[in-house]
Chains A and B, each alone.
Chain A
Amino acid sequence: MSLLDRLRGRADLHSLAAPYALDALEGNERARFEKHLAGCERCAADVRALSEDAVRLAWSTAAPAPAALRDRVLTAVRTTPQEPARARENRLPPHVWGTQPPPARSRAPRPRPLFVPFATATAAAALVVAALFAVQANRSEQQLAAERDRAREIAHVLAAPDARAATGRDAEGRTIGVIASASEGRAVVTLNGYDDLPGDRVHQLWLMRPQAQPLSLGLLDDDTPFVANGLDRAATSLAVTVEPDGGSAQPTTQPVVQLALESVGFGE
């Protein structure tokens, strides 16, 4: 590449400052421009000024946020860990931060809501919803659609008049959280801290019933709230075992954690 080409390329890149400030670059171009910004103090200052201008356009758009949003956010915040203060060695201007994948989703270990005993299902609901939204970045539309479906299912369980929450904790402090509705026969189950399985092992969720074999409810992903259907009222507890990839017909190991369902309205 000749010097002239390089200069031309640079001028070209620089002309992207205004579109960048307006968030009007496509993904690839945005990434390329940010790379350029990191090494160009003058461009960074230019972009900073233009971004301040762009933000003025937001002044006219304020609208009262729904009251329910406040409840959800404030509840979720109570149990959402914060990212530690980071060294500011990277020289990207602050608004560029917003363009990088949110820290929680990639670089830092994903902060998970810490399950604690809940007073109400509402508090638990906010957590589940928060966990759900936290993992949405960089998903395909199909995955997003699947997540939206699950979100709807979850919302359905949470909306049941008899929805109740319970938490089980094992000796190492890892937890299983459940929000269940006995009338619906459904439950939302979340594992926390069990993400250290080798690749060929999975967590399988079982429904324990009196005088019956454990019933497989499905395989659990540590990050994702799981919706279990068809829980019968006689059920006594949920159990999680470690099974070979693909799951087993019946448990082949001792449960790593178990949670009694009596407190959430089962076990009649």
Chain B
Amino acid sequence: MEADRLLIRVAGGDHMAFEELYALVSGPVFGLVKRVVRDPAQSEEVAQEVLLELWRSAARFDPGRGSALSWILTLAHRRAVDRVRSARAAGEREQREALRAGTPAFDHVAEEVEAGLEREWVRRCLDRLTALQRESVTLAYYDGYTYREVAERLSLPLGTVKTRMRDGLTRLRECLGGVA
């Protein structure tokens, strides 16, 4: 894979390789971060942090253990989730007030991402999950909720949520598997 080759060169301090890697992954990184964090300015901050971290820590990538793109997106997701959680913790009071006032605390505004083939494909596969599998997976991955919060929101026992998450991911694998 292109990203793997580039990331290895980046680890050796190759600036040209980093520019190429940037061109390749900045869209996926920024888009994912923005999907989770939502606020554009904060998304940009987190994306910048992640992209710089790729440069600093490229040597930590071990090609024997997965693809570079997965590694990069896993990192981006983790940083985005951490950011959105600390923002939520800070804004908890405002949220409670917003709830009392009857306005939704988080609006699930559809993202204006260009509809690409991949997007359609993921949506199609998500549609094939059961409602609880889908909700469990997407509340966690796209909205950054912990499985405890997911359980609370869906009024499900913790064990059920954990199982739905695993089943959901496994079914996604079967559905999306061929496209990589």
Residues of A within 8 A of B (CB): 15-19, 21-26, 48-66, 69-70, 72-74, 76-78, 80-86, 88, 93-95, 97-99, 102-104, 111, 129-130, 133-134, 136, 141, 144
Residues of chain B from 2 to 61 with CB closer than 8 A to chain A in the complex? 11, 13, 15, 18-19, 22, 26-32, 34-35, 44-45, 47-49, 51-53, 55-61
Residues of chain B from 130 to 180 with CB closer than 8 A to chain A in the complex? 137-138, 140-142, 144-148, 150, 159, 161-163, 165-166, 169-170, 172-173, 176
Shortest beta-carbon distance from A89 to chain B in Å: 12
A and B contact pairs by CB, cutoff 8 A, 23 listed: A19-B146, A24-B165, A51-B74, A57-B142, A58-B76, A59-B118, A61-B119, A61-B142, A62-B28, A62-B31, A65-B29, A69-B44, A73-B26, A74-B22, A76-B48, A76-B52, A94-B61, A98-B74, A103-B56, A104-B56, A133-B52, A134-B52, A136-B49
Closest 6 CB pairs of A and B: A63-B31, A65-B30, A18-B166, A98-B75, A85-B59, A24-B140
**One of B15, B26, B90 near A141 (C-beta < 8 A):** B90
Give the interface size class of chain B.
35 or more
Given known pairs A64-B30, A104-B56, A141-B90, the reply for A19 and B111 (CB within 8 Å) is no
* B65 interface contact, C-beta 8 A: yes
Residues of B within 8 A of A (CB): 11, 13, 15, 18-19, 22, 26-32, 34-35, 44-45, 47-49, 51-53, 55-62, 65-66, 69-71, 73-79, 81, 86, 89-90, 111, 113-114, 116, 118-119, 121-123, 137-138, 140-142, 144-148, 150, 159, 161-163, 165-166, 169-170, 172-173, 176
Number of A-B residue pairs having CB atoms within 8 Å of each other in the complex: 223
A224 CA to B69 CA in the complex, in Å?
Answer: 33
Other 11 A-B pairs with CB < 8 A, given A51-B70, A56-B176: A55-B73, A60-B122, A61-B119, A62-B118, A94-B66, A95-B74, A97-B57, A97-B71, A99-B78, A103-B57, A133-B45
A66 CA to B41 CA in the complex, in Å?
Answer: 10
